[in-house]
Amino acid sequence: MSGTKALALEQHCRERGVSFCRFDYRGHGSSTGEVVQYTVSDWFRDASDMLEHVFPPEKNNDRLILVG
């Protein structure tokens, strides 16, 4: 995700100390693969894995903006 809206939102969050992550699901945008290769279950797993990495349970931060 490198569009102007996503980049502006990221900058807004950085200025306010809010966690932010932008990503493309497999088969979309700048990611690898073709969209027909994947299912909703794959994309759910992508989002779940990303959240565990970016926002682990032990991290004491209750503010997160996720754009995907």
Q: What is the pLDDT of residue 17?
A: 83
In tens, the pLDDT along 2-57 reads 778 888 988 998 898 887 777 777 777 767 778 888 888 988 988 888 888 877 77
- Give the N- to C-terminal CA distance of the chain in Å, as an integer: 8
Q: What distance in Å separates the CA atoms of residue 37 and residue 47, rounded to the nearest whole number? A: 17
Q: What is the pLDDT of residue 51?
A: 81
CA of 17: how far to CAs of 25, 29, 64, in Å?
A: 25, 27, 10
Q: What is the pLDDT of residue 37?
A: 84
